């Protein structure tokens, strides 16, 4: 399979304002920053675009020298100036570029977030901004919110893991939460398109990197917390601290978010709810503990369930098109956020019941006869557990699991735990490659295998993901469910040296077509045709 070049991330896209004919004066942009100093700036400096990567620098750009773990933007400042940058944002003045206007700030990432907001005319103030954070459930909850508010004639844009929906156009998303410059450009585009708000997935990386600093979030939703992203955050407590930032930010003197919607089934949510209640309105929700909005879930049929909702904010039943208790919790989150923003219960219940499928979230692949094939994004222990439990309820026969663990996180505890879950909740496991990045797929699999050995499932290691999917589907028997987990909607697999096109849904369709062809050939041979 050929290796292709990396998809252009948001940092490589030149970010300009909708109307920048005269540019923005650097001094005016800098007024939003406390503790800044201007160097070599005797007269006006017109800023026409914002850039955080030299490839995005155009004439008149303001280049932000962002520090990072692998690269420091200060080292690339001379290249940015050579390519036409009008000024630099630095944390330490660069003497070798003393003749170039430099805006010295204590924190370049914070400056980027605040200046991008001013550059685009405070677009968050013109929108109802609903931000969802948590380890699992962000994407599904955001899709539900977009469906609900659309049904209430309050259409929303969508910024999340699968795509960015901006009103007049939809683009694939390189990051769950766009970098600050692109975020405000997209919020401005959503507002200009006539939409009333946006459903935004707030990742822990984005919160730790201050991409949402200063943004006036109207409603913040917390879903859950479990082990993930320890390669970046270092510890579960640091990871949790990043999530909590969404409920602690302030824009000026006003506390944001104005409304916090928090799941209190787990201890992290209960802590957030207590803290948030000191400064803002809080609506708690849960399936297991007393809350302002409580739910009771019962499976119904093979691919959904019924959520009975009760509370002072509204009550009734929601028919869920997605299976599993975790999706009932996602629906309860979306319902609580909608009720808190004045959406009638009947409207939200109908919107969830009729919503479009969420790409790669327990998505059934058409073409299987006598058994079921499902693709799911489950890529951490909690996500895999919920997906397997939903599969077990749906499958009268065996659950055949194709899965691996992502590279780059270095979290062997997470890998062994996922192997343990697979070994105990699946019947047959095909341990394969997920997104290895620069790690050796065989080494990753060796870290998963000890967990698998402890379980009851039969398993084999098939590092070629296409072959693993093919084997699971060709070997499936009537009543079985083949669950292909870990990558969901993803279209490209990052590997050492680049990435390759790899769509799990297409792998499934290919294997189903091969199975159908083999079945037809066998049938022809049996009949003597």
Q: Tell the residue number behind the tokens 């049904």, with chain if given.
A: 151
Task: Please check whether residue 373 lies inside any domain of the structure.
Answer: yes
Domain membership of residue 4 (yes or no) is no
One domain for residues 128 and 47: no
Is 255 a residue whose pLDDT tops 70? no
Query: Cα–Cα distance between 198 and 177 in angstroms, integer?
Result: 12
Interval 504-511 mean pLDDT: 97
In-domain check, residue 196: yes
Mean of pLDDT values over 294-316: 89
- Domains in the chain, number: 3
Residues whose CB is less than 8 angstroms from the CB of residue 404 and which lie 6 or more positions away in sequence, other chains included: 431, 432, 433, 434, 441, 444, 445, 448, 465, 486
Domain co-membership, 188 together with 173: yes
Which of the pair, 427 or 300, is modelled with greater confidence? 427
pLDDT tens for each residue of 261-282 = 999 999 999 999 999 988 889 9
> What is the C-alpha separation between 437 and 497, in angstroms, rounded?
9
Query: Are residues 507 and 390 part of one domain?
Result: yes
Kindly indicate the confidence band of residue 158, based on its pLDDT and cuts at 50, 70 and 90: very high
**Strand duo 428-431 + 281-286: pairing:** unpaired
The per-residue pLDDT for 235 is 80
Count the Cβ atoms, other than its own, within 10 Å of residue 377: 25
CATH number for 470: 3.90.190.20
Average pLDDT over residues 70-89: 93
377 and 477 share a domain? yes
* pLDDT of residue 334 exceeding 70: yes
168 and 261, same domain (yes or no): yes
358 located within any domain: no
The token duo for 289 is 């503990």
Q: Check whether 504 has a pLDDT greater than 90.
A: yes
Confidence of residue 520 (pLDDT cuts 50, 70, 90): low
56: domain CATH number is: 3.40.1390.10
Average pLDDT, whole number, for the chain? 89
Considering the domain architecture, whether residues 446 and 386 belong to the same structural domain is answered as yes
Q: What is the pLDDT of residue 528?
A: 34
Average pLDDT (145-169) is: 96
- Domain-ending residue, one of 330, 353, 376: 353
In tens, the pLDDT along 381-413 reads 999 999 999 999 999 999 999 999 998 766 678
Would residue 1 count as lying in a domain? Answer: no
- Other C-beta atoms closer than 10 Å to the C-beta of 327 total 26
What's the mean pLDDT in 245-249? 83
**Same domain, yes or no: 134 and 43:** no
pLDDT in tens, 6-48: 334 555 555 666 555 567 999 999 999 988 999 988 789 999 9
Rounded Cα distance, 147 and 362, in Å: 18
Where in 111-227 does DSSP place strands (E)? 128-133, 156-159, 163-165, 170-172, 197-201, 219-222
Residues 56, 193 within the same domain:
no
Q: Which domain holds residue 427?
A: 363-517
pLDDT at 109 over 50: yes
Q: At residue 260, does pLDDT exceed 90?
A: yes
Asked if residue 434 is part of any domain, the answer here is yes
Write down the pLDDT at residue 410: 60
Smallest Cα–Cα separation from 485: which of 382, 352, 355?
382
Residue 463 lies inside a defined structural domain of this protein: yes
Residue 351: band (very low, low, confident or very high) from pLDDT cuts 50, 70, 90: very high
Half-sphere exposure of 236 (CA within 13 A, CB side): 8
Model confidence at 198: pLDDT above 70:
yes
Residue that terminates a domain, selected from 302, 329, 353: 353
**Most confident residue range from 116-130, 163-177, 244-258, 508-522:** 116-130
Last residue of a domain, one of 308, 326, 353: 353
Q: Quick one: 127 and 114 in the same domain?
A: no
For residue 5 the two structure tokens come to 């070049």
DSSP string, 12-42: GS-EE-SS-SS-EEHHHHHTT-TT-EEES--
Local structure of 494: helix, strand or coil: strand
Within-domain flag for 524: no
CATH code, domain carrying 207: 3.40.1190.10
Residue 104 shares a structural domain with residue 237 = no
333 and 414 assigned to the same domain = no
Looking at the structure, tell me whether residues 107 and 149 fall in a common domain: no
In this model, does residue 118 exceed pLDDT 80?
A: yes
In this prediction, residue 2 carries a pLDDT of 32
**Count of residues making up the chain:** 529
Residue 526, pLDDT > 50, answer no
User: Above 50 in pLDDT, residue 419?
Assistant: yes
């Amino acid at each position: 399979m050929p290796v292709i070049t990396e998809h252009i991330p948001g940092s490589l896209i030149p970010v300009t304002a909708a109307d920048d004919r005269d540019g923005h004066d650097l001094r005016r942009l800098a007024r939003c920053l406390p503790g800044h100093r201007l160097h070599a700036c005797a007269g006006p400096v017109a800023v026409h675009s914002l850039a955080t990567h030299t490839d995005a620098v155009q004439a008149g750009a303001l280049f932000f020298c962002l520090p990072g773990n692998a690269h420091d933007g200060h080292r690339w400042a001379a290249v940015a100036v050579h390519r036409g940058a009008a000024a630099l944002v630095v944390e330490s003045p660069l003497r070798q570029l003393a003749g170039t206007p430099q805006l010295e700030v204590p924190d370049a990432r914070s400056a980027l977030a605040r200046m991008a907001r001013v550059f685009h005319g405070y677009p968050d103030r013109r929108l109802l901004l609903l931000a969802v954070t948590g380890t699992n459930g962000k994407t599904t909850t955001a899709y539900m919110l977009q469906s609900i508010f659309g049904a209430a004639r309050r259409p929303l844009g969508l910024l999340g893991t699968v795509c960015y929906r901006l009103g007049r156009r939809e683009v694939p998303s390189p990051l769950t939460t766009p970098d600050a410059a692109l975020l405000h450009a997209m919020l401005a585009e959503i507002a200009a398109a006539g939409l009333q708000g946006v459903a935004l997935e707030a990742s822990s990386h984005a919160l730790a990197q201050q991409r949402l600093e200063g943004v006036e979030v109207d409603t913040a939703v917390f879903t859950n917390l479990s082990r993930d992203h320890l390669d970046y955050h270092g510890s579960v407590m640091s990871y949790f601290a990043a999530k909590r930032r969404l409920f602690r930010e302030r824009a000026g003197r006003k506390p944001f978010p104005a409304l916090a919607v928090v799941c209190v089934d787990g201890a992290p949510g209960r802590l957030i709810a207590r803290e948030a209640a000191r400064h803002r309105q809080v609506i708690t929700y849960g399936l297991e503990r007393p809350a302002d909005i409580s739910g009771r879930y019962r499976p119904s049929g093979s691919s959904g369930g019924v959520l009975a909702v009760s509370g002072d904010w509204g009550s009734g039943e929601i028919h869920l098109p997605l299976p599993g208790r975790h999706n009932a919790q996602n629906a309860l989150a979306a319902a609580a956020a909608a009720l808190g923003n004045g959406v009638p219960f009947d409207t939200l219940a109908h919107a969830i019941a009729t919503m479009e499928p969420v790409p790669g979230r327990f998505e059934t692949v058409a073409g299987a006869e006598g058994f079921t094939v499902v693709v799911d994004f489950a890529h951490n222990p909690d996500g895999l557990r919920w997906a397997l439990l939903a599969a077990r309820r749906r499958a009268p026969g065996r659950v055949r699991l194709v899965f691996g663990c992502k590279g780059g996180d270095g979290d062997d505890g997470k890998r062994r735990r996922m192997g343990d879950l697979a070994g105990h909740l699946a019947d047959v496991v095909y341990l394969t490659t997920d997104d290895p990045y620069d790690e050796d797929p065989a080494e990753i699999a060796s870290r998963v295998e000890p967990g698998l050995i402890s379980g009851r499932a039969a398993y084999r290691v098939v590092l070629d993901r296409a072959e693993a999917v093919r084997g699971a589907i060709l070997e499936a028997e009537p009543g079985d469910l083949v669950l292909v987990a870990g990558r969901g909607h993803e279209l490209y697999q990052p590997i050492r040296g680049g990435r390759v096109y790899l769509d799990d849904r297409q792998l499934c369709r290919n294997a189903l077509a091969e199975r159908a062809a083999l079945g037809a050939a066998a049938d022809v041979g049996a009949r003597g045709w």
